[in-house]
Structure 1
Amino acid sequence: MLKQLFILVFLITCSYANKTYESACDTNNDQFIFSKSECINYVYEEADDENNLIIFLHGSWNEGTNILKKYTPLMEDLVLNTDVSTIVIALPGYSKSSTNVFQAIGKKGFSSLIYTKEYLDLIKDVILQLKEKYKKKTLTLVAHSAGASLGTTLYGYDNTLIQNMISIAGSYTTDTKNSNLLSANKTYKNINKKSKLILIYGDKDKISPPKKSKDFYALVKKEQVNVKLIEVKNAVHLNLELREEVMDEILELLE
């Protein structure tokens, strides 16, 4: 009886906290979306294409980095060159996104957060809400570094959410012995075969070496996934997502 009472009190407390978080999140504009106790900050620019949407997921930066300021120029370039509405999402702990439940992935000790089911479910729900809010059916996810690792895992985790994926300098494996962690090498068999996947790596990347992308390419190719592998010459990890070669691949994909 005491245990049941404790559980009831715990659930009531969690419910109250969630309502408090939600009331503090201004979702009446195009800057915030509320999901799983987190208030997620984003920027959005509308374009003429009625069906397509591009979402960009960033990688690991120091906690508090103004991600939206950094990537707004990229968003504007994408809209200008593709005529597709584009969103940049700030993960928890970046720009004005909250850390009510989830810490910034760049914070010491939290780099593996992107491989947890709870974090995947958060980003999945955020993306789903954004697709529904702006009434877009076809999503192309463009992601860099840790965002690419998260995105490719999500790509197979829910194969109806993302229609096309451009993964830039991602890492596609994690500890296979830890059943609580999910990575792309555990979800790739569920990738929708009708979708398109582009893996991009820099030949001088020391953080996510070329072998990671090459190995994952070979893995998904065996599953008859529509996958393409692109090498960017003289490119390191930092700012690879801003290279002209990446924009060229996005344009070709959306033709």
Structure 2
Amino acid sequence: MSSIVFHIEEGIAYLTLNRPDKLNSFNREMALLLQSKLDECASLHEVRAVYITGAGKGFCAGQDLAEVVDPNGPGMQRILSEHYNPIITRLRNMPKPVIAAVNGVAAGAGANIALACDIVVATKSSSFIQAFSKIGLIPDSGGTFILPRLIGFQKASALMMLGDKITAEEAERLSMIYKVYEDEDFMASAKKIAATIAQMPTKALAYIKHALNHSITNDLEEQLSLEDDYQQKAAATEDFKEGVEAFLEKRNPLFKGK
């Protein structure tokens, strides 16, 4: 059975982390396969949104520690440089919106992979934990970069050092994630978001994503210049023309991601 279940439906690429007996913790096979599938999503025009979730009761428990301590395993340096770092860069450079549908515990690298996505939604019963300090490690997978920018330095520092498990509702209150849904409503609600965003102007969404990436390090003048550049690119798309025509004709636009 594949460690990543993948299919495309109505413009949405569904990626399911599929090691449910291990709470979808990553081993080398799953990490490399996820990278390959993300590359496929980036290259296929028919894919206009990416949806990542977990099989079974959890989203992702992070790294499979059995692989870390295996003397024949890849070792920590390769796990970071060849597994997680490439996943995070692919998520942030993906020219389509990525939705993380967190359906249970998201711990360690699993939490930080979710937070690297563009829109994060979760079931009410889900939880998030920066579990690294519990075993003498530091947060990786972009956690020390992304989390303080989402919730602030002080709160991020405390969550990382104490390793507190927080509920999905608290994560929403802290602006760590977008929305929480009741468990019974979750799948339909999360897929509705994916369906909505898959029908939006895909190139404009990519430019929004890239502009947000740069806003983290740019000063105001640099960001204004970047906005100018991306706005010119957006204005040259077919979807911009369609959006304006639909507005003037008082109808719903039919965007094609071009």
Q: TM-score range by the shorter chain?
A: 0.3 to 0.5
| TM-score normalised by the chain length of structure 2 | 0.37
Give the alignment's TM-score, normalised by structure 1: 0.37
Higher helix fraction (1 or 2): 2
